[in-house]
Structure 1
Amino acid sequence: MDPFTISVADDVLDDLRSRLTRTRFTTPSAPGWTAGTDPAYLRELVAYWANDFDWRAAEARLNAYPQFRARGQHFVHLRRDASRPPVLLAHGWPSSFLEMLPLADLLDVDVVIPSLPGFLYSDLVDGPLTRAAIAEAFHTFMTDTLGYERYFAFGGDIGGAASGWLATMYPNEVAGLHVIHGPFPADFDASPITAAEQAFLDAEEQRDEWDSGYSWIMSTRPDTIAAALADSPAGLAAWIIDKYRDWSDCGGDLERRFDRDTLCTILTLYWATESIGTSFRQYLDYPQNAPRPTIPVPVAVTRSHEPPLDLFPRSIADRAASDIRQYSTPGRGGHFLAFEEPQLIADELSAFMRSVG
């Protein structure tokens, strides 16, 4: 396990600023954000990123957290209380370990925050990047590298799904699972689908009709779009901030949840590591995921407030997990719930960990 410090070379930053100042902006196809990232807002953000954002200050803030790499895996490791099981905090896409830092600051146990394989400073795993493969990589460094015998897992999106596999594959070591996106069963064969379940499934299908374009291209032609995003920081920004605005509980005002320094920090991390293309790998490899068995460990769900997951009924989670101890619907905080409402998640996660022991 080697200590790790984020250090972006000056020539990388100079090249980034040069590209930003020479950005060619598109003509709007429709007003505002109705056709994707608003070109007018993007122009403002690009100007801020090029002229006002202080990466060195952001870099220093990130390096205040102890970071390491082991077996090609990057992670933050905060040591707080070795007498209690630690918690692993797993992010999703298009996010990074940065998402979990405000939550980690509020917890009183040991905290481990990995970068997903292929994201930022973590290498891809050998073979398909399935949820089970991510879980295996996480479990290896939690137990073999860090020496923890038992631990909790928390996550959302890809990180939540991988944590679900952790709980299924290693039930003796995973003390409990806390997710913001309720677990899904392998099938609905156990009992007839309820009206509430059908309403959610219908809403999910409707959402996919107008919000699945990004997923389809990353699943089928990832290298095509990655070529554009790896060469244009403005394009990278447009691709990422569209999701931060659309998926967060921001009411259409992106900066209500994420200030420009935060957005530019995320974007610079992706740009400097040239990892946007490898972050797509889990989309390309998604068909190789097997159906996950029922989750046997204690589970807590704090349901994110984002369409259509704000309609997700507990009964679907009950089909996927046999021991749900805690289920709440706070009605605020979207896809990046730990980032948007860190105190809320800290309170619920801490209560869950104390109740399980």
Structure 2
Amino acid sequence: MTDGNFVDYVKMHLTSGNGGKGSMHLLREKYNAKGGPDGGDGGRGGHIIVRGNQNLWTLFHFKLKRHYKAEHGGHGSSNRSTGADGADVYLDVPLGTVVRDKETNNVIFEITEHGEEKIVAKGGKGGRGNWHFKSSTNQTPRYAQPGIPGEEVDVILELKVLADVGLVGFPNAGKSTLLSVITSAKPKIGDYEFTTLKPNLGIVEYRDYKSFVMADIPGIIEGASEGKGLGHYFLRHIERNSTLLFLIPADSADISKEYDILLNELKKYNPEMLDKERFIAISKSDMLDDELKAEMRVELDKDLNVPYMFISSVAQEGIMELKDKLWEMLNN
């Protein structure tokens, strides 16, 4: 999937169907000139329904069409015949999609399971036919109910990537390279900041045919929680991950300080992020010899309160050990 095909935020205008009118029909037959009211009810207007689909990874299919309208309910007719219900419109979305009210930005609901269905705009009820209003004092009512109008709503569909492990780090920390080595994903890789502009997902194949999902999130910069850089565009994708893998390059000026900045941005965006399991992988460690690693460990053991590991994606050092550690954290 190319960057241009990954869409994780769309605004939509949705209109459900109106309910059909109830019928005012009076039965008139050859041998029953005054048969009384027999007008049927109107049909229900079509709903707009959001449905989870595990085969989708993006909201790209809504990029060109953002207005949807359901069918109106049919009108009631004679012989107490009820009008047909309007056809529902289904909007298939990837798992992890949040539906918000455009005006208030409040969450209406979230879709997290395959086949899960939620009505976002209800179709109007059909009106009752005149036979409902027959009584001893009004045996030939010549009125019926009109159908109830459908709903017209403006919503925002927002995708939060569902993954087991989220890669967190500054731009150019080596996240895309690690993802390409540890999974079969082929993210864009380059030696400059913000190579990754969209989240990338990959399946990590583990021992005994087991696997888990890892997401490479676009790099964080200081001030991202206030919208700097790519801002909220990517931070929301980290909310879904149960485990956070912080990737910090071995040539960083201060590994501990870099970790604190990353953690602070997550905390300012959503304090609940700090409840997730955390692990630090020090990337590009092939440039370090054993003596330098030993010196760094003394400092890191003193400054860091989270477990860490030296790895190199290019030299394939520590990759299997990293998989073992992540699997252990995911299944604790």
Higher helix share: 1
Q: TM-score, normalised by structure 2?
A: 0.31
Query: What's the TM-score, normalizing by structure 1?
Result: 0.30
Say which structure, 1 or 2, has more relative contact order (CA 8 Å, 6+ apart): 1
Larger radius of gyration: 2
